[in-house]
Structure 1
Amino acid sequence: MNKKRTNLKKYISFHTHFVQTEFIFSVINVPLKTLVYEVKMMRAEWLAIARNKMILISIIGVILIPSLYSGIFVWAFWDPYGMIKKLPVAMVNLDQPVQYKGDTISVGNDIIDELRKDHKVKWEFVSEQEGVQGLRKNRYYAMIQIPKDFSKNLTSVIENKPKRAKIEYIPNTGYNFVSTKITDSASEALRKTISENITEHYTSVLFNQFGDIYHALNKAHNGGIELVNGLDTLHTKSNQLLSGLKQQQPSIHELATGSAQLYSKTAELSNGLLGFEKKLDSISSNMKEVTKFIDSIYPKLQTNLSTLNNQINEIMNRLNQTTNQMEQLKRLVPTLQSDIQKYTANHPETANDPNFQAVLTGIGQLSEIIKTMNFGKVENQLSGLSSMLQSLKDQQLSLPSKQLNTTAQLDTYLNQFRTAANGSIALKNGAKKIAEGTKTVENGWGTLIHSVSLLTDGEDQLLTGAKKLSKGLNDLKEAIGAVKGANNARNSMFAAPVEVKRKDMTEGITYGAGFTPYFLSLGLFVGPLMLTTIYNLRDPVGNPTSGLGWLISKYSVLIVVILGQSLITALFLLLTFHLAVQSIPLFLLFSFISSLAFGTLIMFLAAGFGNPGKFVALVALILQLTTSGGSYPVELIAPALQPFHRFLPMSYAVAGLRDVMFTGDFSAMWHQAGILAGYFIVSLILLIALFVNRFKKLKEEA
């Protein structure tokens, strides 16, 4: 019973499945009988291939072509820069040694010695003639020549007009242009190494010279300290001089005032004596009148004599004061002259100061006036005059009894008065000179104080600047002392202060691995293109029963080739070169998607347009060689070609393979896969329309 139920279920299930299948085919209007015919057409297609061994072998070859194409390219360019050591480059040294500070400098020989240890390229050390001939006969890819004045120009760095040392680089561009790019890098690396070594050497010499500079700065610093001390002492002395001048200024003013008063009193005395002399002349002319005059003026004369005697005593007192002041002035002037002479010796710039020179002239005149003046003589004359007046006063008491002798005595007195009057005139003139000289000294004294004050201000500024200079020299000495001497690490830092640290976003990519997306895409495109040349993807083997069946029979050959070449090529590259990809399944899948898009598009061009279509596919291949971005960035190619990058499918295949191999950006990979799927779908729709249309025309012709 259970067995019957099971069989019944199987029957119902099979019947249901058959009904569903029949329904599906009825919906798409493809009867099962038509499907059988299409399978027969596809079978006939493959039987025809199997019977023709040449075609079969050719198809197998086409499947393997992408592996050979991409494999050989990747193998050939897997690590070309690792083979640079086999690249022959001629090295010619014409440098002549030079003498520099007692040492022999031969930079050219030093470079050759270093290059003999360097195996980055195959250095060939030859003569200039051999190097030129080697370039002409293509034995060398480049020649580097050190000129004869190389060392000489390097040592000219200490001269006022240094000359840049040059190395002559001659690439053999006509022999192989790409090799010159490699030798360009080698020559630039050589230039950089030489420059760094020379800079390091000069830096070492420079810092060694800093020791001498340090000692020189130390001496300069000590000299600066002595300068500060000397300026400080000079500033102190100048302030003392200024203080002394200011202290003596009131005394100088008093001296000038006293001299003026002395001159005024001596003028009064001289005028009085002259007037009295005239009176005595008139008295001596007529004794009688004199006697009467004496009798009449006796009381007044006695009073006048007393007044005159008092004035003479006052003048004597003034004269004594003036004499004391002049004695002080005599002692002060030599001291002042000595101080000013010392100041002039320490400050030569005062020779051009008119105010200072006026002071010097006034002090000199004052010194000469003081030397020529004789106060003692004047004092003696006044003393004699006072005695005579006193005697006259005494004799006046006995004048009535001595009138007989009055004339003779008056003559004697007249002569004495005349002598005294003449002495008073000399006294007045001397007092005038003293008054003028002391006034000049007073005026010059103020100018001298102002000049010395300016001098002390300048010395103060100079002292401040000298202190700053001394501190700056000390700071510079300490700074140089911190860096003087040999230090290889520091010298290397000066020679190459900047180091470029490379940090790849994707590690372990070799030159050949970097080109793999490009070479793989080319191989997958070349495979279907070659298939169109050895196999007819348009004409049917037998009589087609439908356009879709016709397409399926032809497309089955293409799909086998596409699937075979994508899987075999991808696995061949993975296993042979040990490619490190981010995802092997996605790498295989994306290779198949790329191949599917290329093959479908090429089949449409070849089946739809024949040889012209194949030519268009070939042109598309040529354009994609440059515009896909597989070798050079798109931005570096000709601007007129850059727009093709966006419209050709290989650009998206290269970008997607880079994503799945290197960056691991699978979202970007799926984006590229979607664009390639668009190429596939559009091409497949066009193929269906093409074969359906051709089948209709074939039926109409039949």
Structure 2
Amino acid sequence: MKVPQMIAAELRRLTASRMATIALLALMCVPVIYGALYLWANQNPYAKLDQIPAAIVVSDTGTTVDGKSVNYGQKVADQLVEDGTFDWHAVSATTAAKGLNNQKYDFAITLPSDFSRQLASASTTTPQKATVTLTTNDTNSYLASTIGQQAAQTIKASIVQEVNHEAASRFLLALADIRSSLSDAADAARQLADGAATAHTGAATLADGTAQLTSGSASLRDGLNTLATQTSDLPSQTAQLANGAQQVAAGNEKVAAVADQAGSLAQQAADAVPSVRAQIIADLQAKGVDQATIDQVMAQLDQLGTKVTDGNQQVQTAVGQLDQLSSGSQQLAAGASQLAASAPALSGGIQQAASGASQLADGSAQAATGAASLRDGLSTLADGTSKLQDGLDAGVQQIPATTASERAAQAKTIADPVALKNSKEASAGTYGAGLAPFFIALSAWIGIYALFLIVKPVSRRAITALRTPLRVTLAGWLTPALLGIIQMIGLYAIVAGALHFGVSNPFATFGLMALASVTFASIILALNVWLGSVGQFLGLVLMVLQLVTAGGTFPWQTLPGPLAALHHALPMSYAVDGIRQTMYGGNASLAVGDALFLLAWLAVALVLTAIGVIRMTHRRTLRDLQPSLIG
């Protein structure tokens, strides 16, 4: 009997009656039903989160920020309800607690009464963390509680973003005000620097002037001191001068009086010359002297009269001069007396002037020192204000000028500085598609396992007829293998057609599904050939082991050490990975490696089955004589 004939014989046996056919069809549908129902149920649960009932409790009483009343808790609640990610219900704390207990709500979010005050405290000297309370009840649904925790984290991130946006807006506005103030300060510093430079120039001029004043006042002091020394005897000397002048004036007065008498007499003599001449002429004429003699005598006497007259004029002139001398000496005496009277005051004034000049010299010296210090200080001030101006200008340049719209954009970026860009080398698309490779592989194992409930591992008739062990082995494997491929055709139609899961490489994906099914068939065949019903049971145990080690849900790295080691040894792990690579458009070389590993399991299992068949042709066992009720 050839291999096709043995396969046909087994198929005829499986469809020999209506009930046998129904049983075969039912078992053929097991992996399709299992995989289809599970993947349908989990096709895209995250798209239906808005049907998960959740309570939100707003106890926030609000607060005042910058003179305005705000209620951040109510704002957050309104945003959550408007977002509609979950089926939110705004209720009281009591209603939320009852709803969690009677499964009306899967979880509850509570915003406490001081929520707004705690958020607003971030800009005060006593900042506090705001509290958002998540209340869950795992008896409702553990996954719902987990989703609630993720929702709470999302709410927290949203609140943090809002607070950061507001804080950044305030900071940027304050920074803009600082820049404006720095600019004003820089302008003021520029004016101050110009004023300080002008003041420094003036102070330098003042220092030079006070230095000259110091020199001049010192010379004045020295001169006045010399003058004071030289005029210290002036009062006594002027007193002596006044006494001497008074004596001279008295003597001149006496001389003038004598001169006045002499002048009077000389005037009288001069005045008497004409009358005396006439009297002489008369006397001569009376005595009978002739006229000639009289003329001779009178000529002589006229000369004498002329001399008397001229002498009188000289005397009168001298008298006038003596009178003037007497008057002048009187004035000189009066002036000398006044000088003597004023000399003490003059001497005292000179002494005071000398003392004042000394003080002026000392003061001007101090002023010169102060002016020099002022000049140096203003120089330092000028340098400092120049540096201050440069520093303020540099500070203004370091703070960029922004508009209100630019600050709004900056605050938005600061509040949420990182944009998450999902870049996928390969993408499943949906949650159900992400689980599909695992449940396809698991369904393939379950389908083969179910078939071996009615399919005979090998033909006892062929063994009895001493057919070639290789043919017996191939016939025993190809029968469930072909049925398994048919199962995979149905399952692939459900996955790609009914559920519309994206398949990047359809032919490679189905090829790996078929390879996984026929490999699983060889493994379960080997277990049945060698161990019979015990082998069938071990097939169930092996399924359970692969269920937890294949890494179909969580990454295999999260498994305990012994189970992680089994992940690298059992075939379902490679079936899952290979289907992922082809279904999602992943690494083709990894898919090839997975296929080679499955082929290695297939070859080993077939070799072991062949050995088992050879063993069965050479000897009979008690199991052959009393076959098991199953297998």
**What TM-score results when the alignment is normalised by the length of structure 1?**
0.65
Given that 1:600 and 1:680 are in contact with CA atoms closer than 8 Å, whether structure 2 keeps it comes out as yes
Give the equivalent residue in structure 2 for 1:623: 545
Give the equivalent residue in structure 2 for 1:421: none
Answering whether residue 77 of structure 2 is matched by residue 112 of structure 1, we say yes
Given that 2:203 and 2:371 are in contact with CA atoms closer than 8 Å, whether structure 1 keeps it comes out as no
Tell me, in whole angstroms, the C-alpha distance in 1 between the residues paired with 2:70 and 2:521.
69
The structural deviation recorded for 1:451 is 3.4
Change (3 A) 1:551 1:623: same
Given that 2:6 and 2:475 are in contact with CA atoms closer than 8 Å, whether structure 1 keeps it comes out as yes
Give the equivalent residue in structure 2 for 1:6: none
SS of the residue 1:641 aligns to: helix
Tell me, in whole angstroms, the C-alpha distance in 2 between the residues paired with 1:182 and 1:699.
57
Aligned letter for 1:643?
Answer: A
Aligned letter for 2:125?
Answer: N
Give the equivalent residue in structure 2 for 1:350: none
Give the equivalent residue in structure 1 for 2:442: 522
Tell me, in whole angstroms, the C-alpha distance in 2 between the residues paired with 1:50 and 1:537.
17
The structural deviation recorded for 1:56 is 3.6
Given that 1:224 and 1:469 are in contact with CA atoms closer than 8 Å, whether structure 2 keeps it comes out as no
Aligned letter for 1:458?
Answer: T
The structural deviation recorded for 1:136 is 1.8
The structural deviation recorded for 1:653 is 0.8
Q: Deviations over 1:348-391 (max 9, x none)?
A: xxxxxxxxxxxxxxxxxxxxxxxxxx557426269779999xxx
> In the comparison of the two structures, how many residue pairs are matched?
522
Q: Deviations over 1:154-199 (max 9, x none)?
A: 2223321122222111232343222223222222222233333344
Tell me, in whole angstroms, the C-alpha distance in 2 between the residues paired with 1:675 and 1:55.
35
Give the counterpart of 1:138 among 103, 108, 118.
103
SS of the residue 1:504 aligns to: coil
Given that 2:28 and 2:487 are in contact with CA atoms closer than 8 Å, whether structure 1 keeps it comes out as yes
Residues 476-555 of structure 1: matches in 2 within 5 Å?
A: 479=400, 482-484=402-404, 488-506=408-426, 509-537=429-457, 540=460, 543-546=464-467, 547-555=469-477
Tell me, in whole angstroms, the C-alpha distance in 2 between the residues paired with 1:116 and 1:62.
48
Tell me, in whole angstroms, the C-alpha distance in 2 between the residues paired with 1:142 and 1:668.
42
Give the equivalent residue in structure 2 for 1:378: 232
Given that 1:605 and 1:617 are in contact with CA atoms closer than 8 Å, whether structure 2 keeps it comes out as yes
Residues 210-359 of structure 1: matches in 2 within 5 Å?
A: 220=185, 223-248=188-213, 251=216, 259=222, 322-323=226-227
SS of the residue 1:698 aligns to: coil
Give the counterpart of 1:593 among 496, 515, 518.
515
Tell me, in whole angstroms, the C-alpha distance in 2 between the residues paired with 1:142 and 1:236.
80
Aligned letter for 1:503?
Answer: S
Given that 1:69 and 1:523 are in contact with CA atoms closer than 8 Å, whether structure 2 keeps it comes out as yes
Give the equivalent residue in structure 2 for 1:682: 604
Given that 2:119 and 2:129 are in contact with CA atoms closer than 8 Å, whether structure 1 keeps it comes out as yes
The structural deviation recorded for 1:200 is 3.5
Give the equivalent residue in structure 2 for 1:170: 135
Aligned letter for 1:596?
Answer: V
The structural deviation recorded for 1:618 is 2.3
- RCO comparison, higher one (Cα < 8 Å, 6+): 1
Tell me, in whole angstroms, the C-alpha distance in 2 between the residues paired with 1:474 and 1:649.
69
The structural deviation recorded for 1:223 is 4.6
SS of the residue 1:155 aligns to: helix
The structural deviation recorded for 1:131 is 0.6
Answering whether residue 152 of structure 2 is matched by residue 152 of structure 1, we say no
Change (3 A) 1:99 1:52: same
The structural deviation recorded for 1:499 is 1.5
Given that 1:529 and 1:617 are in contact with CA atoms closer than 8 Å, whether structure 2 keeps it comes out as yes
Q: Deviations over 1:290-324 (max 9, x none)?
A: xxxxxxxxxxxxxxxxxxxxxxxxxxxx77x944x
Change (3 A) 1:127 1:441: closer
Aligned letter for 1:630?
Answer: G
The structural deviation recorded for 1:670 is 2.1
Answering whether residue 22 of structure 2 is matched by residue 64 of structure 1, we say no
Change (3 A) 1:44 1:505: closer
Tell me, in whole angstroms, the C-alpha distance in 1 between the residues paired with 2:570 and 2:461.
33
Tell me, in whole angstroms, the C-alpha distance in 1 between the residues paired with 2:205 and 2:562.
92
Aligned letter for 2:422?
Answer: R
Gaps of 5+ in 2: 243-347, 626-631
Give the equivalent residue in structure 2 for 1:161: 126
Q: Deviations over 1:188-214 (max 9, x none)?
A: 222233333344445555666678667
Given that 1:48 and 1:541 are in contact with CA atoms closer than 8 Å, whether structure 2 keeps it comes out as no
Tell me, in whole angstroms, the C-alpha distance in 2 between the residues paired with 1:631 and 1:254.
109
Moved more, 163-172 or 498-507: 498-507
Tell me, in whole angstroms, the C-alpha distance in 1 between the residues paired with 2:14 and 2:593.
37
The structural deviation recorded for 1:657 is 1.0
The structural deviation recorded for 1:446 is 7.8
The structural deviation recorded for 1:438 is 9.6
Moved more, 643-652 or 57-66: 57-66
Change (3 A) 1:47 1:501: closer
The structural deviation recorded for 1:699 is 10
RMSD over aligned Cα, in angstroms?
A: 4.1
Change (3 A) 1:382 1:545: farther
Aligned letter for 2:415?
Answer: A
Give the equivalent residue in structure 1 for 2:593: 671
Moved more, 123-132 or 214-223: 214-223
Change (3 A) 1:629 1:162: same
Aligned sequence identity (%): 22
Aligned letter for 2:36?
Answer: G
Moved more, 456-465 or 542-551: 542-551
Residues 570-649 of structure 1: matches in 2 within 5 Å?
A: 570-649=492-571
Change (3 A) 1:472 1:664: closer
Tell me, in whole angstroms, the C-alpha distance in 1 between the residues paired with 2:58 and 2:353.
100
Tell me, in whole angstroms, the C-alpha distance in 1 between the residues paired with 2:600 and 2:240.
148
Q: Deviations over 1:320-362 (max 9, x none)?
A: x944xxxxxxxxxxxxxxxxxxxxxxxxxxxxxxxxxxxxxxx
Give the equivalent residue in structure 1 for 2:337: none
Change (3 A) 1:535 1:54: farther
The structural deviation recorded for 1:246 is 3.9
Change (3 A) 1:238 1:85: same
The structural deviation recorded for 1:659 is 1.8
Tell me, in whole angstroms, the C-alpha distance in 2 between the residues paired with 1:375 and 1:158.
82
Aligned letter for 1:509?
Answer: G
Tell me, in whole angstroms, the C-alpha distance in 1 between the residues paired with 2:419 and 2:58.
30
Moved more, 685-694 or 178-187: 178-187
Gaps of 5+ in 1: 1-34, 260-317, 324-373, 389-425
**What TM-score results when the alignment is normalised by the length of structure 2?**
0.71
Change (3 A) 1:241 1:548: same
Give the equivalent residue in structure 2 for 1:78: 43
Change (3 A) 1:558 1:158: closer
The structural deviation recorded for 1:649 is 0.5
Could you say which structure has the larger radius of gyration? 2
SS of the residue 1:89 aligns to: strand
Tell me, in whole angstroms, the C-alpha distance in 1 between the residues paired with 2:354 and 2:497.
129
